[in-house]
Amino acid sequence: MASTTPADTPPAPPVPGPGSRSTGRLGDKVFLGLSKGSGILLLVIMASIAVFLSYRSVIALSDNEGNFLTTFEWNTAGDPPVFGIAVLLFGTVVSSIVAMVIAVPIAVGIALFISHYAPRRVAAPLAYVVDLLAAVPSIIYGIWGALVLVPYLEGLNSWLDEFFGWTYVFEKTEIGIPRSLFTVGILLAIMILPIVTSVSREVFLQVPRMNEEAALALGATRWEVIRLSVLPFGRSGIISASMLGLGRALGETMAVATVLSPNFLVSLHLLNPGGGTFAQNIAAKFGEANEFGRDALIASGLVLFVLTLLVNGAARLIIARRKEYSGANA
């Protein structure tokens, strides 16, 4: 290391041997110390957060009378306390799935339009607007969702109920404002659309010219070029983009809390009001909870954390498995 970096401080010896590496290399030493130090500091902070959260969780869990994973109840003030994450896990996963199912295809479509269909003078402003949407704070989406989206969705819900009620999922058995997991899913879809679009668009723009020309020269139409060259090249990028969006959807707090009317029931009737998510439940209960209640909420937060880690790990696995086909060596 020391002998390969060019000496930029004047008094450095011509060929610094291993023993003399410190002379005249104060900058190197300081930088090494700083980067080593901050690396260690980061690890220490992460570890202490993990230890702290686990410690508090264990306190709460050891007094829990219910089964933490299967109980449909959140009563931390009772004697004995009974609480479980079943409803939260269900609500979080279901609303995120709804969001992904809606958002990813639309985002990929918009990204393809911007990168491959729109004329340049349309594409640039459109890309800019999409990027701008990503910067809107989530509480704004929440307010908009509650004031505009929810009333608007009543019509859509009746329509879904009428024509797809037989699927059970879209059967609406309770009348009332649709402050449901389905509505939350739609709102989350709108919220993650910009980030999924931006990242996908960036990837689509990086498709090597020669990959696209390979398809063109075979007589591919524009859509066939996309199918043969752009989408295969962009696949891992779409997965990464979706995971970014999913991460946001899983952890979204304010928008969900503003739109959902929570309860502690699990129902596959997605149009009915009710349900809850990890983040929404923490936001709603943290303020007024006693210390034990907070510990219980921390335990649920840990589960959300693990869930996010699992999702990311799965995404990495998928991407790694496709590496052989990625074209890196083409």
Partner 1 sequence: MAKRIDVSGLSAYYGSHKAIDDISMTVEPRSVTAFIGPSGCGKSTFLRTLNRMHEVTPGGRVEGKVMLDDENLYGSSVDPVTVRRTVGMVFQRPNPFPTMSIFDNVAAGLRLNGSYKKNELAGVVERSLRGANLWDEVKDRLNKPGSGLSGGQQQRLCIARAIAVEPDVLLMDEPCSALDPISTLAIEDLISELKERFTIVIVTHNMQQAARVSDRTAFFNLAAVGQPGKLIEIDETDRIFSNPSVQATEDYISGRFG
Query: Which residue ranges make up the site for partner 1 (CB under 8 A)?
Result: 210-211, 213-221, 224, 228-229, 232-233, 235, 322, 324-327, 329-330
User: Cα 52 vs. chain centroid, distance in angstroms?
Assistant: 24
CB of 234 to partner 1, least distance (A): 10
* Residue 227 CB, nearest approach to partner 1 (Å): 9
Cβ distance to partner 1 smaller for residue 17 or 119: 119
Cβ neighbours of residue 276 under 8 Å, at least 6 residues apart? 87, 88, 91, 260, 262, 263, 264
Measured from the CB atom, the residue of 310 and 330 that comes closer to partner 1 is 330
Q: Closest CB to partner 1 among 155 and 208? A: 208
Secondary element (H or E) of residue 74: strand 74-75
Per-residue b or e along 56-73, where b marks 16 or more CB atoms closer than 10 Å to that residue's CB: bbeebeeebebebeebbe
Bond preceding residue 80 cis, omega within 30 of 0: yes
Residue 102 or 239 with smaller CB distance to partner 1: 239
Q: Which is nearer to partner 1, 102 or 123 (CB)?
A: 123
Q: DSSP label at 15?
A: S
Question: Closest distance between partner 1 and the C-beta of residue 224, in Å?
Answer: 6
Instruction: Give the nearest distance from C-beta 213 to partner 1 in angstroms.
Output: 7
User: Residue 22 Cβ, how far from partner 1 at the closest point, in Å?
Assistant: 48
What is the smallest separation between the CB atom of 324 and partner 1, expressed in angstroms? 6
Could you say which DSSP state residue 166 is in? G
**Amino acid (one-letter) located at 255:** A
Whole-angstrom distance, CA of residue 41 vs CA of residue 21: 26
Other beta carbons less than 10 A from residue 6's beta carbon: 5
Nearer to partner 1, 165 or 232 (CB): 232
Residue 129 Cβ vs partner 1, minimum distance, rounded to whole Å:
23
Residue 102: both structure tokens together: 């809606």
Q: Which is nearer to partner 1, 224 or 291 (CB)?
A: 224
Tokens of 296: 């219980």
Is the Cβ–Cβ distance between 142 and 255 less than 8 Å? Answer: yes
Radius of gyration over alpha carbons of the chain, in Å? 26
